[in-house]
Amino acid sequence: MLERLLEIEKRYEAIDAKMQDPAVAADPREARTLGKTRASLEPIVSTIRQYKTALKEQSEAEELLSDPETKELAQEEVDRLKILIPQLEEDLKLLLLPKDPNDERSVIIEIRPAAGGDEAAIFANELFRMYTRYAERMRWKVEVIEFEETGIGGASRIVFSIDADGAYSQLKHESGVHRVQRVPVTESGGRIHTSTVTVAVMPEAEETEIEVDEKDLEISTFRSSSAGGQHVQKNETAIRIIHKPTGTVVTCQDERSQQQNKLRALSVLRAKLYEAEQDRIAKERGELRRGQIGSGDRSEKIRTYNFPQDRITDHRVGLSVHSIPIFLDGDIQKMIDTLVQAEQAKLLAEADTGSASGL
């Protein structure tokens, strides 16, 4: 492992030196790319240097054990380092795990009611509020792209973006079917109703990564019915885009101008095409990209919100938490952390298996 650590440290130092080059400073794109790479390596290199220092100190302390005058202090140092070095090795194992290349991206989230009629539409809106409240806690920027309201405080479709580095790493495991069990406001008999809502979390794609040919697009306009469109109801500002090769349909009507809606719709289209391409590549390699914590497929039930028992259960990791009102107010970090840790544990187990088999 030490050889690999030294290679990473050399790579970091080379990038650091390159960033001092005036030619790089004059090229914003290259400077940004190098800066991101350097930032991603920095935590690993910091831990590597701590590890190297600890190994050196251990060697020096062990040499002093033979001297009666320094033996006692040296033994204390050896005992301290026997605890510290394994801790640093575990930290490095986690840092060296293969990273999802999309983890540092912003996200586009699409929420749709599935089974349950009006109750599902209401819960879709509640999930939207949960994610926006979570984003507020994280001080992330949220922009609504599409919001199709129903007349009872629900939504038939919600699309929004969260613009923040690392948003995907925190929210990617939210993809799937969210099930709610409760007595609906619309239910006069007081019976518990089960509804489902689908959530799709997509990494936002750069324009240069997914090229969209205008010839492949069928673009139409219509009058906006959203809050943003109320001021221009006489004009067709809303946009519908159909990507003819894949049949993907995207609409946007929450911006005030046709051009703004078109730009936002294209952003959603790129995210959907990027996700489809990532899934295709993963399947070709015989693995599921989101296989660490379930498949992340929208047909898979990932979580149940049981109101009578005031309990939220994530079925992938078996974690149950209580206080649904607090959870739906965006206090979801404990759940997110558990899912991330479970992903890391699975990757570590796979890495250990590979090492044991000589891979």
For the chain, domains (ranges, CATH) are 2-95 (1.20.58), 107-205+293-345 (3.30.70.1660), 214-282 (3.30.160.20)
Residue in 214, 198, 207, 104 with CA at minimum distance from that of residue 158 = 198
CA distances (Å), 81 to each of 48, 49, 53, 69, 86, in order?
15, 15, 10, 20, 8
Side chain identity at residue 167, one-letter code: A
Side chain identity at residue 219, one-letter code: I
pLDDT, position 332: 96
Residue in 160, 175, 179 with CA at minimum distance from that of residue 290 = 175
pLDDT, position 357: 46
CA distances (Å), 166 to each of 140, 170, 348, in order?
10, 7, 21
Q: pTM for the whole thing?
A: 0.70
CA distances (Å), 86 to each of 5, 24, 55, in order?
15, 39, 11
Whether the predicted pLDDT of 304 surpasses 60: yes
- Phi and psi for 176 in degrees, rounded to 5? 140, -165
**Higher per-residue confidence, 350 vs 234:** 350
DSSP conformation letters of 316-346 = TTTEEEE-HHHHHTT--HHHHHHHHHHHHHH
Kindly state the tokens that stand for 318.
Answer: 């078996």
Q: What is the mean pLDDT of residues 200-228?
A: 75
User: What confidence tens digit (pLDDT) does each residue in 137-154 have?
Assistant: 999 999 888 888 887 889
Alpha-carbon Rg for the chain, nearest whole angstrom, is: 25
Half-sphere exposure of 6 (CA within 13 A, CB side): 4
Half-sphere exposure of 159 (CA within 13 A, CB side): 22
How confident is residue 225, by pLDDT bands cut at 50, 70 and 90?
low
Helices (H) and strands (E) in the chain, counts: 9, 11
